[in-house]
Amino acid sequence: MSKIEHFHAPETSPSAAPLSPAVRAGDFVFVSGQVPVMDDGSVAAHDIEAQTTQVMKNIEKALKLAGCEMADVCKTTAWLHDARDFGRFNKAYSAFFTPGKFPARTTSEAKLMINILVEIEAVAYKPL
């Protein structure tokens, strides 16, 4: 039995992209970079707060596949299309965590692969 477990939503087939939404390796769960795509496949409104909220909801869904929740997240990495969105990004991002118990985070500005404003990946710790 492999010590690495790959998770995909049961109602969907694995993504056409070569990735798993979540992967457990021991006590850690790694969530692939999430983008602001909604359940119907459309992209959330072209607004940093709306897109950040959708990305965080997608992270929650990926974590749930592996039996985790936002309180288990210990590290995130975020890429913003425009660094000037940083303050509004923080407002939307922080709503998903308990004040004072935010994960470690790295945020940088980057040209993203598709026409979106934000992408975030997460690492959770949840002992088996």
We report the CATH number of the domain holding residue 67 as: 3.30.1330.40
Q: Is the residue at 105 inside a domain?
A: yes
Percent of the chain exceeding pLDDT 90 equals 86
Q: What is the pLDDT of residues 11-56, one digit of tens each?
A: 655 556 788 999 999 999 999 999 999 999 899 999 999 999 999 9
- Give pLDDT, residue 66: 97
- Report the alpha-carbon distance of residue 3 to residue 75 in Å, rounded: 21
Q: Is the residue at 15 inside a domain?
A: no
Q: Is the residue at 114 inside a domain?
A: yes
- Give pLDDT, residue 16: 66
Q: Is the residue at 28 inside a domain?
A: yes
CA-to-CA separations, 111 to 38, 67, 122, in angstroms, rounded: 21, 32, 19
Q: What is the pTM of this model?
A: 0.94
Cβ(56)–Cβ(37) below 8 Å: no
Q: DSSP 3-state assignment of 58?
A: helix
Domain count, the chain: 1
Cβ(60)–Cβ(96) below 8 Å: yes
**Once rounded to an integer, what is the mean pLDDT over residues 91-111?**
97
- What does the block give as tokens for 49? 């707060």
Range of the domain at 89: 4-10+20-125
- Give pLDDT, residue 13: 52
